[in-house]
Amino acid sequence: MNMKKFTFTLVFLVGSVWRLIAQDTIPLSFQEAVKIGLSQNIDYQKLLNQQEVLRMERLNAQFNHLPRFNLANDAFRQIGQQFQQVEGELIVTNQVNNIITGRINANMPIFNGLRRTNNTQAGKSFEDAGKNGIERAKQEVMFNIAQQYLQVLLDEELYKISMENLENQKRQLEQIDGFVEAGLRTLSDLYNQKSEVARLEVVALNAKIQWETDLWTLAEILQLGPNVLPKPESIDLERKESEWLNLPLEELYLTASSERKDLRQIQQLENANKKMLAAAKASYMPQLNAFFNYNTFFTTLDERTFSNQFFTIFPQRSFGFSLTVPIFNNFENRAFVTRSKMEFYNQQLDKTALERRINQEVKLAYENFKAAIKREEATQVQLAAAKEAQLAISERFRLGVSNFVDLAQANQQLFTAQSDYAQAQFSLFFQEVILRYALGVLEVQISNESL
């Protein structure tokens, strides 16, 4: 059995050393983590790319108020019968005719049912909605990173508590071993303590595994390179007075309504779809356009020079107005309007649902924040009492007044109290992050002391 334990320990140590050699660990503050997360997050980068499309669509809608100009020319050869009119007669010959044509066209919409105006306003609203979506995406990336960042720090603290408890129990094992040799304690106490030490070794190992697992999860969120692990810097968990707890819920609702970027985004989308509906209804109205056309050509059937034909003899100019009155278009216009109307109505439904969800998120975050404060205070009292109880029972055990069961229970209560207090501290810290996220005031650029 001793040989097996030695072999297992050797393999575990070699594996741990190999993992340490094979991976790089980089110190990382929360600000640096957010910066890396924003630069590596695929969804956020896609939003930035999409924003460029929205910007160009807005510019396109604005420039649609200007005339359209097009220049075209053709160069081709006709082989076969050629028709020429000479002195009132139509002469047909079989020849090769080389032709060059040129055209300049200009078109300017004068009235189209305010379609251009509505499209321009819609494009501006779509672009503003995209900007608000990017800002909310920043907050979401920060929120996710904060959650995992704090989880890693909590795992590290729980591992330290486990190791500290394990070392204390090892020292107690040595103390009991001395008591047994002196005849003050029975062998059963010694074996029970050995069993407790072995159990705590497993607890510490599990805590370390959980810590490493969450470290890899944080590395994956940050999209770090292969075999690269972050080493989060510690944060100040000292509780400070929060400005949000002094405000009534109604004021928090108003703050969220004015600050939430996703709500602003959906409001802008609603406005944009309203303008798109108005632009779609313009298809029911007459369309008035002004136009100008310039056409000319050159042919080898004419013996005059290219310059004389192309620029002097054959140029033609036409300009005027074009009026189009929609009468029947196979319901294409009606289908376009119906589609725009449904998109506008659906956007209104989404806005109503989001407003309701925001109120629920703010209330839940507010209540959980207050509960986290009470939990932190209660676990602090619990920890202080567990320390006093453990000291008292340890002394009674040393004097032979208390038994091993009482001592083991006191040790377990102390360990539980330490773990509960650490979790309560991190939970309280994160609850304020959740509240700020629900209110829409979670800042991306932060200090190490405060999120």
pLDDT of residue 444: 57
Q: Which of 277, 298, 325 is the last residue of a domain?
A: 325
Chain mean position to CA 286 = 45
pLDDT one-digit tens code per residue, 185-233:
888 888 988 999 999 999 999 999 999 999 999 999 999 888 888 999 9
Choice among 170-184, 350-364, 416-430 with the minimum mean pLDDT: 170-184
Residue 22 pLDDT grade (very low, low, confident, very high; cuts 50, 70, 90): very low
pLDDT of residue 90: 62
Domain-located, residue 92: yes
The beta strands (E) that lie in 257-328 are given as 287-299, 316-324
Choice among 92-101, 198-207, 265-274, 307-316 with the minimum mean pLDDT: 92-101
pLDDT of residue 446: 41
Residue 121 carries which side chain, given as an amino acid letter? Q
Residue 13 pLDDT grade (very low, low, confident, very high; cuts 50, 70, 90): very low
One domain, residues 265 and 116? yes
Residue for token pair 């956020």? 44
**What percentage of the chain exceeds 90 in pLDDT?**
66
**Is 20's pLDDT higher than 50?**
no
Which helix (H) or strand (E) is 247 found in, with range? none
**Helix or strand or coil: residue 70?**
strand
One domain, residues 172 and 310? no
One domain, residues 189 and 305? no
**Is 89's pLDDT higher than 70?**
no
**What CATH number has the domain bearing residue 224?**
1.20.1600.10
Edge-to-edge strand list for the sheet holding 316-324: 68-86, 89-111, 287-299, 316-324
Cα–Cα distances (Å) from 207 to 17, 159, 210, 238, 319, in that order, read 18, 5, 5, 24, 83
Q: Which of 325, 351, 375 is the last residue of a domain?
A: 325
State mean pLDDT over 107-123: 92
pLDDT of residue 79: 87
DSSP assigned state of 311: I
Residue 100 pLDDT grade (very low, low, confident, very high; cuts 50, 70, 90): very high
Residue 5 vs residue 426, higher pLDDT: 426
Q: Which of 275, 301, 325 is the last residue of a domain?
A: 325
One domain, residues 375 and 413? yes
pLDDT of residue 269: 96
One domain, residues 83 and 215? no
Choice among 9-23, 41-55, 352-366 with the minimum mean pLDDT: 9-23
One domain, residues 266 and 312? no
One domain, residues 21 and 169? yes
Residue 450 vs residue 395, higher pLDDT: 395
C-alpha to C-alpha distance for 384 and 162, rounded to whole angstroms: 18
410 C-beta neighbours (distance < 10 Å), count: 22
How many domains does the chain fold into? 2
213 C-beta neighbours (distance < 10 Å), count: 12
pLDDT of residue 83: 67
pLDDT of residue 301: 81
pLDDT of residue 117: 93
**Is 174's pLDDT higher than 50?**
yes
Question: What domain range includes position 101?
Answer: 71-111+288-325
Residue 184 pLDDT grade (very low, low, confident, very high; cuts 50, 70, 90): confident
C-alpha to C-alpha distance for 142 and 134, rounded to whole angstroms: 12
